[in-house]
């Protein structure tokens, strides 16, 4: 059951597809239901796009491309800045909407409005700073000019875990660069994207520049868009398994891709760490978003001398958590996104225990309604356990002890992923060594939260290709052109 405020907000969210500046139904009126994971109740029914709708969205993006690329950078910048301002005005609505469709506690949803909004502000500033370089060739016979140009129509596919930030992190740089887009949000949390695209419309974005399709048939609808030779770029955030399939599909047209994929972050605590800081960092890196973040710490690799103390302190903190619907005051742990996520957390804990680990707190699903899993601490996890290999994507903190730095590095790098690593040490030289030794795209040194719109977010190994945010983020949507002009 939603209360009056929630019902009013949900009524304001569009339920159609947004194609060529028009909100409309899916062909044949197909619909899909969106549920609140804390109750299991359907909260809104929206359009369920077909293959034809997907093609129509790409048609609209292609039609708008030339004019948008020719629009003055200052105009593009102003629209993004206006969108940032509107988002601040509608902050509470966006936070509540994310809590309703995804489940995270309201305070965290508010944090996501801040984080997600910063991509609008950052790229509104970057839109007017796209520049190249020029110089003479070494022979002195020619002038070489290097310029940057929008890659063209883009297809953006986003996951359910950060419904706003994953959309703005792609849409803002694409628009700043002069690209038009088709956005496909996750079917589990499409409402935030729909409401955000309405905000872009209110900010004065011309028709066709951003098009949104919501669908329960992601694979069927996405395939023809990716295969279409008019598409110039695919940017995907989601699981490595789906990313691999999309890279294969992209090969046919040698499509440019950005892939923000899964993670299996190590969180290394050395014996010389400031344990207060390490515990504080651990709680943020593990339990933010109910553990459902690609940056979530997955493996706590803790020096044997401090492992028991660390385990005790994080268990005490977990004991103080409150589970519930994210809209309720004081709730710190919301539901997982669905039954499958609960089953996965349970199976991973079960496997770890079977191999010799000990559950210090939690470890069980919570009886319904809603898809809740108890925040959990497991210690003495044995190398080889599934929980160290797979993304947990749930509120389970798994501790593995180590004895020396080489072993810590070996354990940390023992994964096919390489998105983010956390290291806690008060030894500066050791911290510097770890920057060099860890196979990772990002690192938190004595800190548990690293995401920032001004920084290049992305991974190595099977965590992906490309970077979002920072100076690098806009270049994902630009191509480099070199021109030679003879001198004299």
- Cα diameter, the chain: 80
Minimum CB distance to ligand NAD smaller for 242 or for 348: 242
Rounded CA-CA distance 153/178 in Å is 9
Q: How far is the CB of 263 from ligand NAD (least distance, A)?
A: 5
Nearer to ligand NAD (CB atom), residue 237 or residue 371: 237
Collect all residues with Cβ–Cβ distance below 8 Å to 150 and sequence separation of at least 6. Answer: 65, 68, 69, 177, 178, 179, 477, 478, 479
Peptide bond preceding 369 in cis form (omega within 30 of 0)? yes
What does the chain come to in residues?
488
Contact 247, 257 (CB under 8 A): yes
Instruction: List, in order, residues 6 or more apart from 177 with CB less than 8 Å away.
Output: 127, 130, 150, 151, 474, 477, 478
Footprint of ligand NAD on 364-423 (CB under 6 A)? 391, 419
Which window, 92-100, 130-138, 234-242, 375-383, contacts ligand NAD (CB under 6 A)?
234-242
Q: Which stretch binds ligand NAD (CB under 6 A): 69-77, 144-152, 161-169, 351-359?
A: 161-169
C-beta closer to ligand NAD: residue 184 or 286: 184
CB of 377 to ligand NAD, least distance (A): 22
Name the closest residue to ligand NAD (Cβ).
238
Q: Residue 265: enclosing H or E segment and its boundaries?
A: strand 265-269
* Residues contacting 182, CB < 8 A, separation 6+: 54, 57, 58, 60, 61, 153, 154, 155, 156, 211, 212, 213, 225
The region of 102-110, 139-147, 260-268, 307-315 touching ligand NAD under the rule CB under 6 A is 260-268
Question: Residue 78 or residue 216: which is nearer to ligand NAD going by CB?
Answer: 216
Q: Which stretch binds ligand NAD (CB under 6 A): 31-39, 68-76, 155-163, 354-362?
A: 155-163
* Residue 145 within binding range of ligand NAD, rule CB under 6 A: no
Region 165-194 residues binding ligand NAD, contact defined as CB under 6 A = 166, 184, 186-187
Q: By CB under 6 A, is residue 260 in contact with ligand NAD? A: yes
Q: From CA 157, how far away is CA 214, in angstroms rounded?
A: 10
| End-to-end Cα distance, the chain | 77
Q: Give the nearer residue to ligand NAD in terms of CB position, either 17 or 130.
A: 17
Residue of 260, 391, 468, 476 marked catalytic: 260
Cα separation, 12 vs 90, in Å, equals: 12
Annotated active-site positions, please? 260
Task: List residues near ligand NAD by CB under 6 A.
Answer: 157-162, 166, 184, 186-187, 218-219, 222, 237-239, 242, 245, 260-263, 294, 391, 419, 459, 464
């Amino acid at each position: 059951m939603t209360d009056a405020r929630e019902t009013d907000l949900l009524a304001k969210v569009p339920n159609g597809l947004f194609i060529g500046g028009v909100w409309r139904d899916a062909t044949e009126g197909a619909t899909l239901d969106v549920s609140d994971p804390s109750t299991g109740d359907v909260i809104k029914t929206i359009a369920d796009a077909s293959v034809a709708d997907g093609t129509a969205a790409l048609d609209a993006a292609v039609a708008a491309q030339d004019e948008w690329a020719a629009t003055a950078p200052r105009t593009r910048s102003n629209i993004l800045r206006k969108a940032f301002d509107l988002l601040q005005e509608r902050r509470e609505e966006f936070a509540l909407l994310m809590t309703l469709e995804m489940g995270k506690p309201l305070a965290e949803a508010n944090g996501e409005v801040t984080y997600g909004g910063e991509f609008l502000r950052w790229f509104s500033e970057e839109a007017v700073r796209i520049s190249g370089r020029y110089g003479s060739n070494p022979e002195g016979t020619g002038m070489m000019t290097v310029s940057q140009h929008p890659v063209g129509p883009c297809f953006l596919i986003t996951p359910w875990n950060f419904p706003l930030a994953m959309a703005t992190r792609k849409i803002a740089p694409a628009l700043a660069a002069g690209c038009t887009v088709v956005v496909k949000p996750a079917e589990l949390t499409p409402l935030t994207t729909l409401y955000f695209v309405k905000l872009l419309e209110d900010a004065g974005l011309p028709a066709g520049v951003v098009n949104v399709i919501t669908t329960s048939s992601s694979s069927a609808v996405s395939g023809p868009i990716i295969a279409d030779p008019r598409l110039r770029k695919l940017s995907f955030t989601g699981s490595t398994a789906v990313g691999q399939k999309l890279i294969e599909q992209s090969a046919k047209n040698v499509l440019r891709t950005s892939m923000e994929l899964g993670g299996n972050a190590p969180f290394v605590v050395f014996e010389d760490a400031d344990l207060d800081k390490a515990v504080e960092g651990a709680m943020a890196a593990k339990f933010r978003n109910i553990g459902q973040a690609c940056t979530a710490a997955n493996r706590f690799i803790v020096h044997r001398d401090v492992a028991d103390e660390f385990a005790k302190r994080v268990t005490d903190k977990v004991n103080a958590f409150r589970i519930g619907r994210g809209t309720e005051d004081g709730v710190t742990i919301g539901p997982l996104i669905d039954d499958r996520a609960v089953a996965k957390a349970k199976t991973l804990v079960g496997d770890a225990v079977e191999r010799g680990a000990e559950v210090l707190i939690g470890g069980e699903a919570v009886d319904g309604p809603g898809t809740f899993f108890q925040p959990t601490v497991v210690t003495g996890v044995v190398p080889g356990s599934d929980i160290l290999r797979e993304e947990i994507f749930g509120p389970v903190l798994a501790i593995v002890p180590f004895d020396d730095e080489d072993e810590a590095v070996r354990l940390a790098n023992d994964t096919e992923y390489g998105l983010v690593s956390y290291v806690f040490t008060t030894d500066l030289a050791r911290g510097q060594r770890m920057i060099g030794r860890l196979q990772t795209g990002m690192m938190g040194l004595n800190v548990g939260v690293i995401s920032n719109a001004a920084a290049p977010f992305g991974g190595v190994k099977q965590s992906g290709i490309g970077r979002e945010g920072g100076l690098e983020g806009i270049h994902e949507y630009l191509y480099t052109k070199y021109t030679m002009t003879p001198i004299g």
